[in-house]
Amino acid sequence: MQATTAMALIRTLFWTAIFLGATFFFTVIFEHGPADFSDNAKREAENIQALFSKKVEKRKDDSDRFTPPLH
């Protein structure tokens, strides 16, 4: 019974990896076209990496100041 569970996990991980790879492939093809695929794939990978590694900076403006409640 445990071998079946392990195989199901491996199968799920495999299909998830295939899905993510195909999604990346089609994203590169649709956004950049089929010409020069390797350079466009590198560019798209950098865009994805920047999306997840970008530090969110809090904007400083007047709404950040504490105002006492009005009574």
Task: Say if residues 40 and 26 touch (Cβ distance below 8 Å).
Answer: no
The domain spans of the chain are 19-50
Helix (H, G, I), strand (E, B) or coil at 66: coil
pTM for this entry: 0.64
List the structure tokens of 28. 């590169």
First to last CA, the chain: 67
Q: So what's the pLDDT on residue 41?
A: 95
pLDDT in tens, 14-70: 999 999 999 999 999 999 998 999 999 999 999 999 888 877 677 677 666 666 677
| Rounded Cα distance, 42 and 47, in Å | 9
Q: So what's the pLDDT on residue 57?
A: 74
What is the gyration radius of the CA atoms in the chain, in angstroms? 23
